[in-house]
Structure 1
Amino acid sequence: MRLGAVISLGLIALGAVMVLLPFVWLVSVSLKPHAEIFTTEVALLPTRPTLANYWTALTETDIPRYLLNGAIVTGSILVLQLAVTVPAAYAMAHRRFPGRRLMFGAVVAALLVPFHVTAIPIFLGFAQLRLLDTYAALILPFMASAFGLFLLRQAFSQIPAELIDAARVDGMSEMGIAWRIAFPLGMPTVIAFAIFSVTAHWNDLFWPLIATTDPGLATPPRGILFFRDQESGDDVGPLMAGATLITVPLILGFLLAQKRFTQGLANTGLKK
């Protein structure tokens, strides 16, 4: 094997270790008893593994409720985003109307604006509408996605115009073409966008932290904060166990969809 290949593989392996080490440490600490966590010796693996931290996380805090809230919020956001984005992306890809290029430019420009810039006006508006501390406050600000619109527009643009014209000749409506032809053909890109969307909103702490105060509405990252102990600081073992329980669904979901995820990015021209 050539020296260059060895160096490349070594750098890749080093990068993989640096990325995976925090996750390994997370699981390791979650399996350690309290006495092993607060010690002067650093051990990657627990000497006496225990599930006590997971029991504490599941019984002393409402982790199942936080996971359910996360599923409700992220699932609702994704459904609304697709309901808005699929027809809009189809229209921008296969309909001709005045201002079409300008609108696409506005979508690209919107990608440059972080949500934090608009958070305060949204918060004030929701306060006036008395929607704070509700599921609506966690869901509605994200029902439209500029990133999703850009991604799906790129994918739908690759559908042959002849196929769209044939569907129109057969009498299919534009909305029918969007959902019955463009949507299935763009499924790999839809899955890629779904992974981006679910990951971003499952892990989001910023907006749930300012939009809700009710523990019953806490999403997983917000729920982790309830492990805080005012007398002794953070209860590290159950904290790591809770973080593991919250992280595992995302990892499993990505592993199951990674082939479609890569294919979806390739279909949009984002992968070289």
Structure 2
Amino acid sequence: MIAKGWTFGRVGRLALLSLGALVFLAPYVFMLSTAGKAQSDIFTSALSLVPEHFYYVANFAKALARVPMATLLWNGVLVCGLIFFFQVLIAIPCAYAMAKLTFRGARMMMVLVMLGLLVPIHATALPLYVAFDSLSLLNSYTALVAPFSISVFAIFMFLQFFRAMPDDLIHAARLDGMSELGIVARVIVPNAWPAVTAFAIFSVVAHWNDLYWPLVVISKQGYATPPLGLMYFRAAEAGDDYGALMAATMIITLPLVAAFLLAQKRFVEGITMTGLKG
């Protein structure tokens, strides 16, 4: 018997959501399990998520000893933070101008933004690599940050959010004598935090997990980002120790999990409010 207030539709939706959550959590659960196993326990015919012998301390100690984990995490935080800072700094004024100002070329700018969403980093990797090489900027934070400083996705996302903001708020600011830059700094930005937080999740996750571009421009371990650092880990002596490798992967993914759990309310608010008005 179904409890009062519950319907078959609601039970079905909860079951479907639970199944989806299980599918998405399965790789992380498997990683957590493998990080606590000895090598002999990993390569067995029987699949068991609970380790027979707990090797968490040993595996985490190996992970911290074989690669400069603190350097990898610092590089990831620095690169993702700089990319996000410049993306927001550029995208908010651009999106505000396209959403609230009338000028020639606004439609063409929108077309260019939409076209920009279709261009992957792989298409521009070769000319960017040649340019950075000619400027002697390979193996630097500049090479990791500069190509992503302008995000057309951020412009598009903030554009949708700003279109939903009431024009009366901006007209009142103009009557108070604010300049357009003052309106952006004192009116738009304080009201755009839900969208900024939502975009932060997309930006940080994408660039924290990015392996392709760091693999192209970085060859020195001192500038390696977390995913590239895992490749160095696998190339190290006894790199087939998957228990230690999974422990290193857990250390690298924990900051993302913690950040998302802390910002999930703002993330949902930003996504919801961005889609209010097309």
**Common fold by TM > 0.5:** yes
In the alignment, is the contact (CA less than 8 A) between 2:94 and 2:155 conserved in 1?
A: yes
Normalised by the length of structure 1, the TM-score is 0.94
SS of the counterpart of 1:199?
helix
Cross-structure match for 1:136: 142
Match for 2:30: what amino acid? Answer: W
Match for 1:149: what amino acid? Answer: I
List per-residue Cα deviations over 1:10-62 (Å, max 9, x = no partner). Answer: 33322221111110010111111223222232211112223111111111211
Aligned positions, number: 272
Give distance in 2, aligned partners of 1:60 and 1:233.
9
List per-residue Cα deviations over 1:92-134 (Å, max 9, x = no partner). Answer: 1111110111101210121111111111111111111111110
Residue 217 (structure 1) aligned with residue 237 (structure 2):
no
Identity, % of aligned pairs?
Answer: 47
Cross-structure match for 2:52: 47
Cross-structure match for 1:248: 254
Give distance in 2, aligned partners of 1:216 and 1:148.
30
**Among 145, 151, 155, which residue is 1:145 paired with?**
151
SS of the counterpart of 1:234?
coil
Cross-structure match for 1:98: 104
Residue 181 (structure 1) aligned with residue 187 (structure 2):
yes
Normalised by the length of structure 2, the TM-score is 0.92
SS of the counterpart of 1:25?
helix
Deviation at 1:169, TM superposition (A): 1.7
Cross-structure match for 2:36: 31
Match for 1:42: what amino acid? Answer: L
Cross-structure match for 1:168: 174
Give distance in 2, aligned partners of 1:160 and 1:3.
41
Cross-structure match for 1:11: 16
Give distance in 2, aligned partners of 1:12 and 1:265.
19
Cross-structure match for 1:115: 121
Cross-structure match for 2:90: 84
In the alignment, is the contact (CA less than 8 A) between 2:233 and 2:239 conserved in 1?
A: no
Report the CA distance shift for 1:79/1:100 in structure 2 as closer, same or farther (over 3 A).
Answer: same
| Structure 2: 5+ residue stretches without partners | none
In the alignment, is the contact (CA less than 8 A) between 1:229 and 1:235 conserved in 2?
A: no
SS of the counterpart of 1:228?
helix
Give distance in 1, aligned partners of 2:25 and 2:36.
17
In the alignment, is the contact (CA less than 8 A) between 1:227 and 1:235 conserved in 2?
A: no
List per-residue Cα deviations over 1:182-211 (Å, max 9, x = no partner). Answer: 111111011000110000000000000011
Give 1:184-263 correspondences, 5 Å limit: 184-229=190-235, 234-263=240-269
| Structure 1: 5+ residue stretches without partners | none
**Among 264, 267, 271, which residue is 2:273 paired with?**
267
Give distance in 2, aligned partners of 1:230 and 1:81.
35
Cross-structure match for 1:75: 81
Give distance in 2, aligned partners of 1:134 and 1:30.
32
Give distance in 2, aligned partners of 1:203 and 1:234.
22
Match for 1:94: what amino acid? Answer: K
